[in-house]
Structure 1
């Protein structure tokens, strides 16, 4: 039996995604003057999995003792290799990176608020609703 609901596990994975994205964006900004540096971004693995599933990949649990298939909430860092914004071969666009960072901060704060709400509900239950 799990102490926490699946919601808290999903929120934890969302925070992991947001943290990895923040590190990637910060790395892009730190390398804005590095020649031939290619900007990276983080995309949910689920996006790529869904593309594969649409192409006919299926998984079936044929016996109750088989390991169940679950969707992954992992993330994947990708590099845009054929993009260049200046003569040094660097592909970091500061305005775009700052916009992504602001978007990611809003997402992170929303996930923190949601997980705090879940823990406050648990705390209320432990106290007996008082």
Structure 2
């Protein structure tokens, strides 16, 4: 009987990876809060996780007829290949900057808590698998 680690861990590794990518994007937004013309970006966690889980969000995959063609992901990779989107500002600055520092900090804090939760769930799943192999449970 073979055991699949991917089946045992489920979607948790992809969730942790996407949370880490989103944290990088949000910290980049915060760092560029005073940069003229900087456009705040974010990634849609839900759609990216669905795509990682194999759901794909109901979209059809594009086929490439040549290796030189774009992959059709629609984004500038930026965060490890996750599709990046521009954040719609509530009050854009006169210099063209769309970063709202308070909103970015709140999103960063929320994402940090969810990142820690995902890590804890993954840690407990790995501990459960380890205990099962040892026969502790």
Normalising by structure 1, report the TM-score.
0.71
Which of 107, 111, 116 aligns to 1:109? It is 116
What do you get for the CA RMSD once the two structures are aligned?
2.8
Structure 1 119/101 Cα, relative in aligned 2: closer, same or farther at 3 Å? same
- Supply the distance in 1 between the matched residues of 2:89 and 2:126 (Cα, whole angstroms): 45
* Counterpart-to-counterpart distance in 2, 1:124 and 1:89: 55
Deviation at 1:2, TM superposition (A): 4.4
Alignment of 1:11-26 (within 5 A): 11-26=12-27
1:1-130 aligned at under 5 Å gives the runs 1-6=2-7, 8-43=9-44, 44-45=47-48, 46=50, 49-50=56-57, 52=59, 75-80=82-87, 85-129=92-136
Once residues 36 and 5 of structure 1 are traced to their aligned partners in structure 2, the CA distance between those partners, rounded to angstroms, is 42
The alpha-carbon deviation at position 82 of structure 1 amounts to 7.8
Summarize the Cα distance change of 1:80–1:37 in structure 2 as closer, same or farther, 3 Å threshold.
same
Report if the CA contact (8 A) 2:89-2:99 is conserved.
Answer: no
* Structure 1 gap segments, 5+ residues each: 58-73
**Aligned with 2:97: secondary structure?**
coil
Moved over 6 A (4+): none
Q: Given the superposition, is the C-alpha separation of residues 118 and 6 from structure 1 closer, same or farther in structure 2, using an over 3 Å criterion?
A: same
Once the two structures are superposed, what CA deviation does each residue of 1:15-68 show, in whole Å capped at 9, x if it has no partner? 111011000001101111111100000113348x4364xxxx6xxxxxxxxxxx
Contact 1:34 1:90 in 2 (8 A): yes
Count of aligned pairs between the two proteins: 111
SS in 2 for 1:13: helix
